[in-house]
Amino acid sequence: MSYANGAFAKTQALVIDSNATSRSLMTAQLRELGVGHVRQATRTRDARVILETQPYDIVLCDYYFDGSELSGQDLLDELRREQLLPYSTVFVMVTGEASYAKVAEAAEAALDAYLVKPYTSAALAERLASARHRKHELKDIFEAIDGKDFGKAADLCLARFECRAAYWLYAARIGAELLLRLERHDQARELYEAIIAARTVPWARLGVARTEVASGNLSAARRTLQTLIGELPDQADSYDLMGRVQMDQGEISAALATYRTAATLTPGCLSRQQHCGTLAFYAGERAEALKMLERSVAQGLKSKLFDFHSVALIALMRFDAKDSKGLKYAQDALMMGMDRAPKDRRLQRFDLLLQGLRLLLDRRLADALSLARRFAAMLPDEDFDLESASLLLALWVRMSRQDIELAEMDDMAQRLGLRFCSSKSATEVMASMSEGHEPTTQLLRDAHARVFAVSETAMRHAMRGDARLGVMLLLDQGAQTMNAKLIDMAALVLRRYRDRIADPDVLEPRIQQLQDRYARTSSQGLKAARAAGGMALRG
């Protein structure tokens, strides 16, 4: 049967399979359906680079790859969650009977379609047509998302769920993601629970835990996740979210153990491998950290999914080992990223760190001090985040071990602590970067205590009837320290006690201005590559 003049005539397809016979068969079937252009890839690593740089209408991908730890599902997960696959792309997973159960479960949640070998051209045509029809049916939702009208998109999803219209389960998952993004946590939880009542699916139960995390109820999230992990020990996303909860509660070692499990379940997943390596660094497990992070560089340096923070941590470890060759290896890797994005301020800060380490290793101490001061001068920048602060601290701590007079180090450490040590998690990350330098560690912990004390005092003022005084305290201290938590708390107190404050309309613009400058910067100790268990939404 020929479809050359039909629906597939203008489409482009990518076939990903390590087996030459299977690749040839899938390519022939697509051409029989009339697909205009078909490209082939033998490895998931190559396919990832191809899909990062060029969109395809159809992707046929095998689930299992000989000699590779990265499965087709791992590839799809990373591309979807890093928003590197447009909604228009139909991704079809091809699987043998042995992996059918895993693929079927994934298909219910995020795949467009799946096929079990052997299959016919007619079956392939039916799957492609069905997937494209679903995209057409939900076009209004996707158009609203593309237009960044997330409220409208969420309402359309809810309406489809309520009347059980076509593809209601898929729409419900999109709707729940949108409600979380809109911080309508109660509605998101209600929707996830309604999905569970209608049809129990693991991602909906994980969604309940995500709403609990988003609303700050970490204890409830932990209980939900413990139950879910006990029942479904092979679901890696549950470990991702549990690790985040443990990090938020300052339990770095426990989070590392949890992320180790997630990485073991998906050994080819680049983002989990980097995440686990970074946590190992913070936990002081440097041999493990170096092994995992250098493995990530070897496997994923050319990928858009690669996070160059790994290179910064490798450089620190190679410097500590007085490994000049290893440090050069890290510098060369970073240059690849800077060649692609020379104006990226984050990469520029990594470059400052690596240059400083090189100068210290070469005993050019005066030049190293000058560069470290340039790095420290960036502290007031609006985009200077916890990650930047931790690397700045790491450089100065290593300088303190040299024959250099560092009169300003204590002042800088205190400023870093007052701005970024807002939570137990952030404080533990910063303390780990102080490398046992006790005076610096103590300054960081004192700063955390001071931030906590200011928050407590402001809340006492508000609860005792002087909410304006509480807001002003948070505003003044937030502006002075650039601390995002204090600024956000000022907004929270103003919102909660607005009717008891004489001039809320005067205070609100001041808070908004500070939030725009400082509170939009991530305060997390780790770059969150994706929402655990989440469905990727553009915009």
pLDDT of 41 above 80: yes
Which domain range does residue 46 map to?
12-146
Distances (CA, A) of 404 to 352, 411, 474: 18, 16, 37
Provide the token pair at 291. Answer: 């092994």
pLDDT tens digit sequence for 344-369: 999 999 999 999 999 999 999 999 99
Does residue 17 fall inside a structural domain? yes
pLDDT tens digit sequence for 442-489: 999 999 999 999 999 999 999 999 999 999 999 999 999 999 999 999
Residues 6 or more apart whose CB falls under 8 angstroms from that of 364 comprise none
Does residue 209 fall inside a structural domain? no
Does residue 315 fall inside a structural domain? no
pLDDT of 395 above 60: yes
Q: Give CA–CA dist 65/75, Å, rounded.
A: 11
Strands 37-41 and 58-62: unpaired
User: What's residue 511's pLDDT?
Assistant: 93
User: What's residue 428's pLDDT?
Assistant: 92
CATH of the domain at 37: 3.40.50.2300
- Grade residue 535 by pLDDT with cuts at 50, 70 and 90: low
Q: Give CA–CA dist 50/12, Å, rounded.
A: 13
User: What's residue 537's pLDDT?
Assistant: 57
Q: Give CA–CA dist 446/103, Å, rounded.
A: 50
Does residue 443 fall inside a structural domain? no
- Lowest mean pLDDT segment, chosen from 3-17, 210-224, 396-410, 520-534: 520-534
Crossing angle, helix 286-300 and helix 309-320, to 10 degrees?
A: 130
Distances (CA, A) of 24 to 17, 43, 445: 9, 15, 62
Look up tokens 């000049």; give the residue.
324
Domain count, the chain: 1
pLDDT tens digit sequence for 187-215: 999 999 988 888 767 778 888 999 999 88
Mean pLDDT of the chain: 87
Distances (CA, A) of 392 to 378, 399, 402, 510: 10, 11, 16, 29
Does residue 371 fall inside a structural domain? no
Distances (CA, A) of 236 to 72, 267, 290, 424: 15, 11, 23, 25
User: What's residue 130's pLDDT?
Assistant: 86
- Grade residue 3 by pLDDT with cuts at 50, 70 and 90: very low
- Grade residue 531 by pLDDT with cuts at 50, 70 and 90: low
pLDDT of 86 above 60: yes
Give DSSP secondary structure letters for 436-467: T-HHHHHHHHHHHHHHHHHHHHHHHHHHTT-H
CB 455 within 8 A of CB 463: no
CB 31 within 8 A of CB 87: no
- Grade residue 1 by pLDDT with cuts at 50, 70 and 90: very low
Does residue 364 fall inside a structural domain? no
Crossing angle, helix 424-433 and helix 236-248, to 10 degrees?
A: 80
Look at the alpha carbons of 468, 473, 476, 477 in this order and tell me if their dihedral is positive or negative: negative
Q: What's the DSSP call for residue 284? A: T
User: What's residue 533's pLDDT?
Assistant: 57
Region 371-384 average pLDDT: 93
Does residue 67 fall inside a structural domain? yes
Does residue 82 fall inside a structural domain? yes
